[in-house]
Amino acid sequence: MDTEYQGAPRRLLLHADRNGFFYVLDRTNGKVLLTSQFIRRLTWADGIGPDGRPRPVPAGKAASDGMMCPTDASNWDSAAFSPSTRLY
């Protein structure tokens, strides 16, 4: 989508990944502008690192918490953006 983001016009790529994180990227240079967890239960990662990649939970902690792949995340259905409602 082409819109104003943080006070400047931007050409953005929006992506809700099946890993449980939502990404906003500048599609002209690939820079990660925003990431956010969008599912309630996310046990395999504890966030996104400065490089834009998920930070896996350390092996010992993951085993005790019952690490699993997200089941509520986007998987096969394609997401869509409506310019009229501005909803993703």
Does 73 fall in a domain?
Answer: no
Does 17 fall in a domain?
Answer: yes
Q: How far is CA 69 from the centre of its chain?
A: 15
For the whole model, what pTM was predicted?
0.76
The values of phi and psi at residue 70, to 5°, are -65, 135
The values of phi and psi at residue 26, to 5°, are -80, 115
Does 53 fall in a domain?
Answer: yes
Measured between alpha carbons, how far is 82 from 1 in angstroms, rounded to an integer?
9
Domain that holds residue 17: 2-65
Does 74 fall in a domain?
Answer: no
Radius of gyration (C-alpha) of the chain in whole angstroms: 15
Q: Which residue has the higher pLDDT, 4 or 76?
A: 4
Assess whether pLDDT exceeds 60 at residue 62: no
Measured between alpha carbons, how far is 22 from 16 in angstroms, rounded to an integer?
4
The count of domains in the chain is 1
Does 76 fall in a domain?
Answer: no
How much is the average pLDDT of 24-43? Answer: 90
